[in-house]
Structure 1
Amino acid sequence: MFAFFSVWRKGDDIIVSIGINILAVGLTALLLRSLFGVSGQFDDPAIAALPNIDLGPVGDIPVLGSFLSGQSVLVWLAVALAFAVHRFLHHNNLGLRLRAAGQNAEALRTVGISPERIKTTALLACGALCALGGAQLSISNVTLFTEGMSAGRGWIALVIVMMCRGRLLWILLGALLFGFIDAMSVRLQGLGLPQQVTDALPYVLALFVLALSYRRRTRRAHAA
């Protein structure tokens, strides 16, 4: 749907994405009621969690061991895919075409390649990866589904991409940073801080990063 309206119909990316997100919120609530007959949350003992990977002796390392061992299979898949996609984009002809589709689409047209088809394929792959992120939330972190359980993490991911200017390995580090802040906010609740304050920490950091990024861009523009 996003590819149709944004790529093929030349709609504004931001407006289309906001519209689809609003649609998704309402559609999720509707399907939850119509398919499962519940509202707000769906929980079933038959839901099986994704397996965690035990790294054996690595788990005995102080601090670091508990961070590395016992993570979901999707966590390690995400890390591996970050390196694999980075190599694909920079050391493969198809990856070069994909980058050109976003940076210089007319160059692709001159050699008879449709940038719209490449963008559509990339968006389909992106949707599949985002679905894996949703699976991590719903059948790994927990084994239930709650309306709005992503809690704006997709927008934080967008901030990370903007902050790192699409450089994949930097995006991986940025995601780890925001994940650390999110986990720390949960820990701080145990110290007596209000939940509203701790829940706001990742979004405050996102706004701070956006402000720094905007300031850097304006300085470069003035210097040029």
Structure 2
Amino acid sequence: MATLLGVLLAVLRLELGADAIIAGIGLNLLASGGTAYAVFSLLDDKGGTSGLKSGSLPTVTLPGIENVPVLGDVLSGQNMVTWLAFLAAPFVAWLFYRTRFGFHLRAVGEMPDAAASVGIAVRRVQYTGLALSGALAGLAGVFLSMGYVSFFVRDMTAGRGFIALAAVFLGGMRPWGVFLAALGFGAAGALAVQLGSLDVPPQLVATIPYAMTLVALALYAWRRKRRGRAVPAAASL
């Protein structure tokens, strides 16, 4: 389903000329309302599928590490999707910088007209890229509903998609940079969970991941502005 939404976004943006941001927000609203309607139609429950016995994805136990203090708790017993996410970082880096498709994808993303002039099928690359991004986003949704918990609740993402978007910008739109930024945001979320067990106001704890997102976006904007000033200065030399 997430892959189909990625293709639908491609149709709205590439074929109908819709603004990518507005189309993305519209698809998010469609997904939120559509899933709630589907759950209510099938289960007569507006809240979610907590009353339905549903499966969960298996965890991965690492022999020899699970009994190591601290390290065993961090690495062993993690959900399968967590390890897929770790493997996705080197895979995407390899795909972007070591394959013909990755070269075409970067060329189309930066200068589609120039890419078309050398024979690259721009539309096909754009559709494929958006479909793949939708599939990866769907994998995150699978983790939330079948890994983090074992049921679906409407709007259970709780704004995490916008945090992921901030990680993309903070990481300079490069696979390893985004990976490190995502780890930073994940650490902020884990810190919020740990502080929740202490005598800290829950309202303050809940703001930690989102406050970090705002700080990260401010740093990205500052870095981009500084880079923009440096380019004219270098050109004048």
Q: TM-score, normalized by length of structure 2?
A: 0.90
Q: How many angstroms apart in 1 are the aligned matches of 2:52 and 2:155? A: 21
* 1:20 matched to 2:20: no
| Structure possessing the higher relative contact order (Cα contacts under 8 Å, 6 or more residues apart) | 2
Q: How many angstroms apart in 1 are the aligned matches of 2:15 and 2:89? A: 28
**In the alignment, which residue of structure 1 is the partner of 2:73?**
66
CA deviations 1:99-140 (Å, max 9, x no partner) are: 111011112211232212211111111111111111101111
- SS of equivalent residue, structure 2 residue 124: helix
- SS of equivalent residue, structure 2 residue 181: helix
Bigger drift between 7-16 and 72-81 goes to: 7-16
- SS of equivalent residue, structure 2 residue 17: coil
* 1:110 matched to 2:155: no
Contact 1:89 1:99 in 2 (8 A): yes
Aligned length: 224
Bigger drift between 159-168 and 6-15 goes to: 6-15
* 1:184 matched to 2:191: yes
Contact 1:160 1:171 in 2 (8 A): yes
From 158, 161, 176, the equivalent of 1:151 is 158
Contact 1:28 1:147 in 2 (8 A): yes
* 1:37 matched to 2:83: no
Q: How many angstroms apart in 1 are the aligned matches of 2:95 and 2:36? A: 38
The runs of 4+ residues in structure 1 deviating greater than 4 Å are none
**In the alignment, which residue of structure 1 is the partner of 2:90?**
83
Give unpaired runs (5+ residues) of structure 1.
none
Bigger drift between 54-63 and 152-161 goes to: 54-63
Q: TM-score, normalized by length of structure 1?
A: 0.95
Give unpaired runs (5+ residues) of structure 2.
1-7, 233-237
Bigger drift between 46-55 and 59-68 goes to: 59-68
From 212, 215, 232, the equivalent of 1:208 is 215
